[in-house]
Structure 1
Amino acid sequence: MSSVNNINRIAILGAESSGKSQLAEALASRYQTVWVPEYLREFVDAKQRVPQEDEQLLIATTQLQRENEAAKTANAWLFCDTTPLMTAIYSRHYFARVDAALEELEQEHDYDFTLVTAPDFPWTADGLQRESAAVRQRIHENLLSLLEERDIPFLLVEGSLKDRVEQVAFALDFLLE
Structure 2
Amino acid sequence: MAETALRVALLGAESTGKTALSLALGQALNDCGIACTVVPEYLREWCEREARTPLPEEQSAIAQEQARRVIAAARDAALVLADTTPLMTAVYSDLLFKDTRLYADAARHQQGYALTLLTGLDLPWVADGLQRDGPQVREPVDARLRQALSEHQLPYQVVYGTGERRLQNALLPLTRLPRLPGRERLLERLASLRDEQVLNRPWRCEHCSDGACEHKLFSGLLPRGS
> Do they superpose with TM above 0.5?
yes
Residue of 139, 152, 164 corresponding to 1:150: 152
Match of 1:116 in 2: 118
Larger radius of gyration: 2
CA drift at 1:73: 3.3
Structure 2 residue matching 1:175: 3-state secondary structure: coil
C-alpha contact (below 8 Å) 2:3/2:71 kept by paired residues: no
Match of 2:213 in 1: none
Match of 1:19 in 2: 17
Q: Could you tell me which amino acid in structure 2 is paired with residue 55 of structure 1?
A: E
In structure 1, stretches of 5+ residues that fail to align are: none
Structure 2 residue matching 1:79: 3-state secondary structure: strand
Listed one character per residue, the Cα deviations across residues 94-124 of structure 1 (whole Å, up to 9, x for unaligned) are: 100134xx33321201211100001221111
Match of 2:175 in 1: 173
Residue of 60, 63, 73 corresponding to 1:60: 63
Residue of 28, 32, 37 corresponding to 2:26: 28
Match of 1:97 in 2: 99
Q: Could you tell me which amino acid in structure 2 is paired with residue 14 of structure 1?
A: G
C-alpha contact (below 8 Å) 2:117/2:159 kept by paired residues: yes
Match of 2:43 in 1: 40
CA drift at 1:164: 2.1
Match of 2:5 in 1: 7
C-alpha contact (below 8 Å) 2:16/2:119 kept by paired residues: yes
Listed one character per residue, the Cα deviations across residues 1-40 of structure 1 (whole Å, up to 9, x for unaligned) are: xxx7431100110011111111111111111221000000
Listed one character per residue, the Cα deviations across residues 76-102 of structure 1 (whole Å, up to 9, x for unaligned) are: 211001111110000001100134xx3
Using structure 1 for the length normalisation, give the TM-score. 0.89
CA drift at 1:154: 0.8
Q: How many residues align?
A: 171
Q: Could you tell me which amino acid in structure 1 is paired with residue 28 of structure 2?
A: R
In structure 2, stretches of 5+ residues that fail to align are: 31-35, 184-226
Q: Could you tell me which amino acid in structure 2 is paired with residue 69 of structure 1?
A: A
C-alpha contact (below 8 Å) 1:31/1:77 kept by paired residues: no
Using structure 2 for the length normalisation, give the TM-score. 0.71
Listed one character per residue, the Cα deviations across residues 138-176 of structure 1 (whole Å, up to 9, x for unaligned) are: 101111122222221111001113212211222111332
Q: What is the alpha-carbon distance in structure 2 between the residues aligned to residue 150 and residue 167 of structure 1?
A: 25
Structure 1 residue matching 2:131: 3-state secondary structure: coil
Higher relative contact order (CA 8 A, sep 6+): 1
